[in-house]
A and B are shown apart, each in its own frame.
Chain A
């Protein structure tokens, strides 16, 4: 339904794209414009741009707009042809009469529109309908599709008014079939033929079509859009409330809109930062964002038996920041290598891991909790809320050091300053420095890394300090983790091997992980009152 677009005033930062698309038919007349292939991440506003364009063209008389979404289309040839054709006829009459209800009334048979068509003098459209009906009567699916797809071309030729065809979720057109799924891979090429000949330009879709990329909204406009949605939903958000948390949405208009809607569903008033986190947590666990991603997920993993394996696999990828090698993936998914390979292909196609989308990652965490661990949506929501509420109080620092002599002292100096920033006791800091020095010199001395770098991340919270140290190269040998008493060291002449004993004694938790070719050590220290300067 192309008319359910958001108010034009709320459609931010797309003026250039919209104006360009509006002027496309004029450019085409001067041989300066062609077909446009709109690309952008999910939720970035491609559909909304088309709807805005549709609405804009509809009320002007220069171009007749036609919008068709493949997302909800029945892709069986005969059904599709009828749906596409009747959709076009309705929208054409709707535009001619400047009456949106004609396009929206999908239940009304075309026969009932005949008087309206006659009164508009669109006799060629009656011919067009009769031609299409003739193909239906002959049960010729191929020619039905040709007639349907060519209808906008015929309309433009007969009326002399250009038709702008907007095909949403066009990738789904590759799944068009005649009688059973996958029996006619080439049907999408009918569009290409039509475009090449008349509809858009003389360019073929696959070859010289112009690409228009929709990027994210900048930070300030994202906040403006969110406030505007809230205002439309009659929710107040005091000007002093920082909307920093919105950064996680990375300027994605779909996410922004859904969070605002969640605020309405949760009956929030005078929205605070905490409310924002709660709305977000609801959205990724049980709201529209969860539903959206769940639909995408189901589209690519329709087989329920593989669903759990896929969730485990996605979760692994989220937790580790990358995809493990084939053997490990099989272990994680619990499937054979061939099946795992197929699944990996599905993930790639779905694009679910292509961009490091924090929202999608939180959805995967929630999905895992619910479908693998058998917990309730409320638990998932609470988990996400707790994560971000505690993160608000944290700050983090990152540091990369070369594997060179005394580089560990740079780390010691850094942790000293970080400790001073959060008022840690000097004596306590010395111990932290020692623990870090030990991990760094272990990496420098024993990893054999070609990269010759150690990556560190310090995350501070009022009650906890977490340090993540990562480097490529060899994993730790179990010997380095073995504790040998000093008497035995003296007796056996072993002088080295104190490092991990020191680290384990100083830190509350030491976690050593192997992630692909990297060793990751996570040190955690709970900060007690006596370790903080008053």
Chain B
């Protein structure tokens, strides 16, 4: 377990936003993730890639925040792709039935290729 404070950075790649949450995803950090995604959604972005390579731990409040993003994107017929997830994270999302509501890719580039190909 890495003891790093949570942070979110993001970048725009074509018409998709790529979000990098880092650290423990809980209520406070989940809020900033929702805010970060909200900023792009507000700008009309409907494709979001969340790269979880630096997220080692999550809790149910963090998961509920992720559900908020899924719901926000669903309302605008957008897509959320999750990449670089650890087995733990993937198992957890699967356990909760969340995986059906997101596109999962092993790495970020696969998600971007998928989105660029317009298979949304």
CB within 8 Å of B: which residues of A? 405-406, 408-409, 412-413, 416, 427, 430-431, 433-434, 437-438, 441, 485-487, 489-490, 493, 495-499, 501-502, 505-506
- Other-chain residue from B60, B86, B100 in contact with A499 (beta carbon distance below 8 A): B60
- List the A side residues contacting B64 at CB < 8 Å: 495-496, 498
B7 to chain A, nearest CB (A): 15
- List the B side residues contacting A412 at CB < 8 Å: 1, 57
- List the A side residues contacting B56 at CB < 8 Å: 430
When the two chains form their complex, are residues B1 and A485 in contact, meaning their CB atoms are under 8 A apart? no
Q: How many residues of B contact A (CB 8 A)?
A: 30
Q: Mark B94-119, 1 if CB is under 8 A from A, else 0.
A: 01111011000000000000000000
When the two chains form their complex, are residues B61 and A441 in contact, meaning their CB atoms are under 8 A apart? yes
When the two chains form their complex, are residues A502 and B70 in contact, meaning their CB atoms are under 8 A apart? no
Q: List 15 A-B contacts (CB under 8 A).
A: A405-B28, A408-B59, A412-B57, A413-B1, A427-B87, A434-B92, A437-B59, A485-B97, A486-B67, A490-B70, A495-B71, A497-B60, A501-B95, A502-B95, A506-B95
A406-B26, A496-B61, A499-B60 given; name 17 further pairs at CB < 8 Å: A409-B3, A427-B86, A427-B87, A430-B56, A431-B91, A431-B92, A434-B88, A434-B92, A437-B59, A486-B98, A486-B100, A490-B67, A496-B64, A497-B60, A498-B96, A501-B95, A502-B96
A480 to chain B, nearest CB (A): 11
Closest to B97 in A: A486
When the two chains form their complex, are residues A502 and B88 in contact, meaning their CB atoms are under 8 A apart? no
- List the A side residues contacting B65 at CB < 8 Å: 495
B53 to chain A, nearest CB (A): 15
Q: A486-B96, A486-B97 are in contact. Are A498 and B70 (CB under 8 A)?
A: no
- List the B side residues contacting A502 at CB < 8 Å: 60, 92, 95-96
When the two chains form their complex, are residues B59 and A430 in contact, meaning their CB atoms are under 8 A apart? no
Q: How far is the CA of A409 from the CA of B57 in the complex (A)?
A: 9
When the two chains form their complex, are residues B67 and A489 in contact, meaning their CB atoms are under 8 A apart? yes
Q: A416-B1, A486-B101 are in contact. Are A434 and B67 (CB under 8 A)?
A: no
When the two chains form their complex, are residues B24 and A438 in contact, meaning their CB atoms are under 8 A apart? no
When the two chains form their complex, are residues B63 and A498 in contact, meaning their CB atoms are under 8 A apart? yes
Q: How far is the CA of A344 from the CA of B36 in the complex (A)?
A: 62
- List the B side residues contacting A434 at CB < 8 Å: 57-59, 88, 92
Q: How far is the CA of A12 from the CA of B67 in the complex (A)?
A: 69
Q: A498-B64, A505-B95 are in contact. Are A433 and B57 (CB under 8 A)?
A: yes
- Other-chain residue from A441, A490, A501 in contact with B74 (beta carbon distance below 8 A): A490
Closest to B27 in A: A441
- List the A side residues contacting B96 at CB < 8 Å: 486, 498, 501-502
Q: How far is the CA of A416 from the CA of B3 in the complex (A)?
A: 12
Q: Describe B's contact surface by its main secondary structure.
A: helix
When the two chains form their complex, are residues A498 and B60 in contact, meaning their CB atoms are under 8 A apart? yes
B119 to chain A, nearest CB (A): 23
A483 to chain B, nearest CB (A): 10
- List the A side residues contacting B91 at CB < 8 Å: 431
When the two chains form their complex, are residues B88 and A430 in contact, meaning their CB atoms are under 8 A apart? yes
B76 to chain A, nearest CB (A): 14
Q: How far is the CA of A497 from the CA of B70 in the complex (A)?
A: 17
Q: How far is the CA of A453 from the CA of B86 in the complex (A)?
A: 32
When the two chains form their complex, are residues A438 and B3 in contact, meaning their CB atoms are under 8 A apart? no
When the two chains form their complex, are residues B57 and A430 in contact, meaning their CB atoms are under 8 A apart? yes
Interface centre among A409, A434, A497, A501 (most CB of B within 10 A): A434
- List the A side residues contacting B88 at CB < 8 Å: 427, 430-431, 434
Q: How far is the CA of A416 from the CA of B70 in the complex (A)?
A: 31
B96 to chain A, nearest CB (A): 6
Closest to B58 in A: A434
Q: How far is the CA of A287 from the CA of B3 in the complex (A)?
A: 55
Q: How far is the CA of A437 from the CA of B64 in the complex (A)?
A: 15
- List the A side residues contacting B68 at CB < 8 Å: 495
When the two chains form their complex, are residues B60 and A496 in contact, meaning their CB atoms are under 8 A apart? yes
- List the A side residues contacting B74 at CB < 8 Å: 490
- Other-chain residue from B1, B67, B87, B95 in contact with A433 (beta carbon distance below 8 A): B1
- List the B side residues contacting A408 at CB < 8 Å: 59
Q: B14-60: which residues lie under 8 A (CB-CB) from chain A? A: 24, 26, 28, 56-60
Interface centre among B58, B63, B87, B98 (most CB of A within 10 A): B63
A208 to chain B, nearest CB (A): 62
Q: How far is the CA of A192 from the CA of B65 in the complex (A)?
A: 77
A412 to chain B, nearest CB (A): 6
Closest to B100 in A: A486
- List the B side residues contacting A409 at CB < 8 Å: 3, 24, 57
A362 to chain B, nearest CB (A): 39
Interface centre among A438, A487, A496 (most CB of B within 10 A): A496
Q: How far is the CA of A59 from the CA of B100 in the complex (A)?
A: 91
Closest to A426 in B: B88
Closest to B60 in A: A498
- List the B side residues contacting A405 at CB < 8 Å: 28
- List the A side residues contacting B57 at CB < 8 Å: 409, 412, 430, 433-434, 437
- List the A side residues contacting B28 at CB < 8 Å: 405
- List the B side residues contacting A441 at CB < 8 Å: 26, 59-61
A446 to chain B, nearest CB (A): 12
Closest to A417 in B: B1
When the two chains form their complex, are residues A490 and B101 in contact, meaning their CB atoms are under 8 A apart? yes
- List the B side residues contacting A501 at CB < 8 Å: 95-96
A378 to chain B, nearest CB (A): 45
B69 to chain A, nearest CB (A): 10
Closest to B99 in A: A486
- A-B interface, 6 closest residue pairs, ranked by CB to CB distance from nearest: A495-B64, A498-B60, A430-B88, A486-B97, A499-B60, A505-B95
- List the A side residues contacting B60 at CB < 8 Å: 438, 441, 496-499, 502
A501 to chain B, nearest CB (A): 6
Closest to A504 in B: B95
When the two chains form their complex, are residues B3 and A413 in contact, meaning their CB atoms are under 8 A apart? yes
